[in-house]
Chain A
């Protein structure tokens, strides 16, 4: 058994496998399939200051080796999470990380501040792919000044590990990652979904209600891997890699490219027990190649 512990900016995980926000609910949905405590970290559904109904149905299109979603951050709001959901997560002996989303800087900071007060939550993942409603609806994560502003503002109110989740829909991901690092992020995670589109030719109509949506799944892996590698070379803080991880080998590739931990997203839909299989597969790989610790393979490329 190799040492699987890893660190993502002040937060130690028992193994490098986490779940990607929006694909694993609050973890409890998967408790029949996996021992949640064997997962390195559970990143829960994106949470906003106020309740959101999300986008109209249809929200899903299957694409070659992937899917496009347009859920639109449907969630019950941070107060509901604190009162009703978090009490059910308190007894878990793994790290629970809240994915925080917002449509204005005040939304982000107010939400982060409330989560800062929860003893059992030691990190947040800041989803900066959301549109900035006050400034024309462009995603926060697509410009250096906006990234600096939102990360800087949250850094002031959030005292524990701050992971900033990057959108891949940018020209230069390394520059964005450096901006997040400069504004006080403890680590960065990437990639969020790639903007995509699906059309039903027979009906001559878009398949999802919002026309465009977020592409995820196996098909995005090469893009995600490239971006993780570029970012890991550009920043000093730990990088969390995700995008299209379907098995242990995929996860190992991300570690080799420079990720200190990984997240599993869409793959949970196809195999609800995949997380623990990936953790075991990483261990088996390390043993087979004679590595004592997962840290020995992080960023060797």
Chain B
């Protein structure tokens, strides 16, 4: 897939709770082809303490509006700067990057999409793409507490939504891996994005249950293009770049002790 450097125009940038923002970015030219699970490298301007671009997953593509959405948790210098962008500002992105999820592998299967924290971001686009391709997605999203769950309504509109919260304020109490759906229903494909401990727990469940499982990693990156070799993860075939061979890996490719 051809990569582009594009100056997007911010259409809107809203606080969506849990210290996160949803940025809708208008593309001045028709949006390039983008797959769910792919990401962009955004350039953070006018923030002298940020030197490198920041990798952010593509949350959703609104084809009608020619907009790309980014869901960003403000955790540091760069992401906080993104929070200050206003309608009409530009955001320079290298897009699209990474391999994306294998949606073909979902065809005719019962699929579960698991997201935790800001890791729900790519799941919205994945779910809507699966739906377009004729697969009904079930989302299982985890949050610490009720108002930390991001984009709840959008997920509800896209598929069946199951939730766990650590304090029980919404959905079932506990972690995603404690949800009753995992023992009551049989899925044959799982996609996961979220904090590493959560991904490992879900991957462990999938492995034991013999379910095909893809995870999306968030290693630190410099180039995002497979050039610097900074973002590597350990795989069965040695070090691989998360930015080009990933960010999505089948758990069988990784060397996780699960």
Name which of A53, A59, A64, A266 has the most chain B CB atoms within 10 A of its CB: A59
> B residues within 8 Å of A by Cβ?
2-5, 43, 48-53, 94, 219-234, 238-239
Binding site for B on A (CB under 8 A): 22-25, 29-30, 32-33, 45, 53-54, 56-60, 62-67, 69, 71, 74, 217-218, 266, 268-273
In angstroms, how far is the closest chain A Cβ from the Cβ of B47? 12
What CA separation (Å) do A232 and B20 show in the bound complex? 52
B48 touches A29 (CB 8 A): no
- A29-B51 in contact (CB<8A): no
- Taking a contact as CB atoms under 8 Å apart, the answer to whether B223 and A269 are in contact is yes
B227 touches A218 (CB 8 A): no
CB-CB under 8 A from A25, the residues of chain B are: 225-227
Give the nearest-CB partner of A218 in chain B. B51
Whether the pair A65, B51 counts as a contact (CB closer than 8 A) is yes
Cβ–Cβ contact B228 & A22, under 8 A: yes
The 10 A-B residue pairs with the shortest CB-CB distance, nearest first, are A25-B227, A60-B230, A269-B223, A32-B3, A29-B227, A59-B230, A71-B229, A29-B225, A269-B222, A74-B229
A33 to B2, CA, bound (A): 9
Q: CA separation between A67 and B50, bound complex, in Å?
A: 10
Q: How far is the CA of A218 from the CA of B48 in the complex (A)?
A: 11
**CB-CB < 8 A to A32: which residues of B?**
2-4
CA distance A258 to B233 in the complex (A): 41
**Are B49 and A69 in contact, with the CB atoms below 8 A?**
no
Of B94, B220, B233, B238, the contact of A272 (CB 8 Å cutoff): B94
Query: In whole angstroms, how far apart are the Cα atoms of A217 and B2 in the complex?
Result: 27
Point out the residues of chain B lying under 8 angstroms from A56, CB to CB: 234
Inside 8 A of B222's CB, which chain A residues have their CB? 60, 67, 69, 266, 269
User: A23, B228: Cβ atoms under 8 Å?
Assistant: yes
In the bound complex, do residue B239 and residue A30 qualify as a contact, i.e. CB atoms below 8 Å apart? Answer: no
Of A54, A60, A218, which one neighbours B239 at CB under 8 angstroms? A54
Could you say which of A33, A66, A69 contacts B228, with CB atoms under 8 Å apart? A69
Q: Nearest chain-A residue to B78 (Cβ)?
A: A62
- Whether the Cβ atoms of A62 and B232 lie closer than 8 Å is no
CB atoms of A269 and B232 under 8 A apart: no
Tell me whether B229 and A272 are in contact (CB under 8 A).
no
Across the interface, do B231 and A60 meet the contact criterion of CB distance under 8 Å?
yes
Interchain CA distance A56-B231 in the complex, whole Å: 10
A74 touches B232 (CB 8 A): yes
How far is A217 from B219 in the complex, measured between Cα atoms in Å? 21
| Measured CA separation A133–B13 after assembly (Å) | 54
Contact A64 B228 (CB under 8 A): no
20 residue pairs from A and B, CB less than 8 Å apart? A24-B227, A25-B227, A33-B3, A54-B229, A57-B219, A57-B232, A58-B219, A58-B220, A60-B220, A60-B221, A62-B50, A64-B49, A67-B52, A67-B222, A69-B222, A218-B51, A269-B53, A270-B43, A270-B52, A272-B225
Q: Is the CB of B51 within 8 A of A64?
A: yes
CA distance A269 to B233 in the complex (A): 19
Shortest Cβ distance from B205 into chain A, in angstroms?
25
Which of B43, B223, B225, B230 has the most chain A CB atoms inside 10 A of its CB?
Answer: B230
CB < 8 Å neighbour of A74 from B49, B50, B51, B239: B239
CB distance from A208 to the nearest CB of B (A): 9
Chain B residues whose CB sits within 8 angstroms of the CB of A63 once the complex forms:
51
Query: A30 touching B227 by the CB < 8 A rule?
Result: yes
Q: Is the CB of B5 within 8 A of A57?
A: no
CB-based contact B225/A71 at 8 Å: no
Nearest-Cβ distance from residue A225 to partner chain B, whole angstroms: 19
Chain B residues whose C-beta falls within 8 Å of the C-beta of A269 in the assembled complex? 52-53, 222-224, 227-228
Choose among B220, B225, B228 the residue with the greatest number of A CB atoms under 10 Å from its CB. Answer: B228
List chain A residues, Cβ under 8 A from B226: 25, 29
Chain B residues within 8 Å of A64, by CB: 48-49, 51
CB <8 Å contact, B227 and A268: yes
Residue of A nearest to B48 (CB): A65
Add 13 more A-B contacts to A22-B228, A69-B222 (CB < 8 A). Answer: A57-B231, A59-B232, A60-B220, A62-B51, A63-B51, A69-B228, A217-B51, A269-B52, A269-B53, A269-B222, A269-B227, A270-B52, A272-B5
Query: A69 — which chain B residues lie within 8 A by C-beta?
Result: 222, 228, 230
Given A60-B220, A272-B5, residue A53 in contact with residue B227 (CB < 8 A):
no
In the docked arrangement, what's the CA distance between A25 and B229, Å? Answer: 9
CB distance from A85 to the nearest CB of B (A): 13
Q: How far is the CB of B84 from chain A (nearest CB, A)?
A: 20
